Amino acid sequence: MLRRTPLGPFIAVVLCTAAAAGCRNAPPPPVERQETIVPVGVMRAETAGIRASVHASGLVVPAEGGEFLVVAPEPARIAEITKAQGDVVASGEILVRFELPSATQAVARLTAELAGAQAQLENARINQARTRDFAERGFIPRRDLDTADRELADAQAAVERIRVQHAAATEGAGRAIVRAPFNGIVANRHHQPGDVVLSTSADPVLRIVDPRRLDIIVSVPTADVARVVPGAPARIAAAAGIAPVLLTVVGRADDRTVRDGTVPFRLQFKDPAPLPVDTPVEIDIDAEERTNVVLVPAEALVREGGATAVLIANGSRAERRPVTTGLKDAQSVEITSGVRAGELVITRGHVGLADGAAISVASQ
């Protein structure tokens, strides 16, 4: 007799196997992503005044009358130099002695000629007195007295002429010794004793500078010349914790000079110059000023290509704003459009920050 196997368990196994296969092929449940919140620092745009500045490179130079070049009076050999570079000199001190043989010989020759002329003058004076006595007593004719008078006048003229020549030669020989015209320092020494030098300022022996009389010559780009006016304040930037050196614009150093696209301006120190001559410096000159304008920190600007923008903290989101800028100084920039006073401008964490990004704000 055949026994029948029940179908119920078999069908249940098949159904369970199919269900398991279907579960393996089903998509996973969606995963919820969390948005990254970027911490940023902000400052409020404010209404205030701003003054622009013109930046220029300059050099410390002697003021007018504060420099003296020792130059030979004629091509000559240097006999002595009494000072080295950096030495302090006092007014009237001997600086250089030159060998001037022609001037020395001329003085010696004219000294002898002057002595001879003076002797002839004395003889003519004695002869004229004796001749006058004889003529008055009738011993000699009157014309002899006229002759003696002419000889005396000629002798006097000869002495005067040679005396003038002797004085000029003595002065020329005196140029062999050069003295300091004021108190100062030796800024440069260009020669040594024994050198033969020319009689030109292009070949000086020493350069003497008065450290109390120094200015600065700056090269202002031609595009900024109209922004630099006489009397404007200026300064040499100093290191942190050190006060800047204050200056005043005097005016153009030379109205006709335009070199390499720049114009030279002369600036005066407000106080005694703390820098030595020939020191290169970087100068900021105060230019135009505006008041009651919207300012943002300079570090808030974001530049991409030719566009400028800032990022505003608008609640918990960053908002990118294209802006138009005006004047700027070392700390702030004028915003002529794009930002209103009082808005929170992002100054930290804004580099690479996307428009609409989630942010957390910490005021600076």
**DSSP string for 44-63:** E-EEEEEEEEEEEEEEEEEP
Residue 11 above 50 pLDDT? no
Nearest-CA neighbor of 350 among 320, 316, 328, 329? 320
Q: Are residues 221 and 281 in the same domain?
A: yes
Name the domain boundary from 257, 290, 323.
Answer: 290
Picking from 158-167, 170-179, 195-204, 238-247, which range would have the lowest pLDDT averaged per residue? 238-247
Q: How confident is the model at residue 74 (pLDDT cuts 50, 70, 90)?
A: confident
Residue listed under structure tokens 């070949």: 203
> Which structural domain range is residue 358 located in?
39-50+291-363
Q: Are residues 107 and 237 in the same domain?
A: no
pLDDT at 2: 40
Q: Are residues 184 and 90 in the same domain?
A: yes
Most confident of 85-89, 269-273, 346-350: 85-89
Residue 342 above 60 pLDDT? yes
Please name the helix (run of DSSP H) or strand (run of DSSP E) that holds residue 30, with its range, or none.
Answer: none
Helix (H, G, I), strand (E, B) or coil at 185: strand
Q: In what order do the strands lie in the sheet with 177-179?
A: 177-179, 94-99, 76-81, 196-197
The reply to whether 198 falls in a domain is yes
Q: Are residues 260 and 146 in the same domain?
A: no
Name the domain boundary from 211, 226, 260.
Answer: 211
**What tens digit of pLDDT does each residue of 198-214 get?**
999 999 999 999 999 99
Name the domain boundary from 290, 307, 324.
Answer: 290
Q: Are residues 303 and 355 in the same domain?
A: yes
Our count of domains for the chain comes to 4
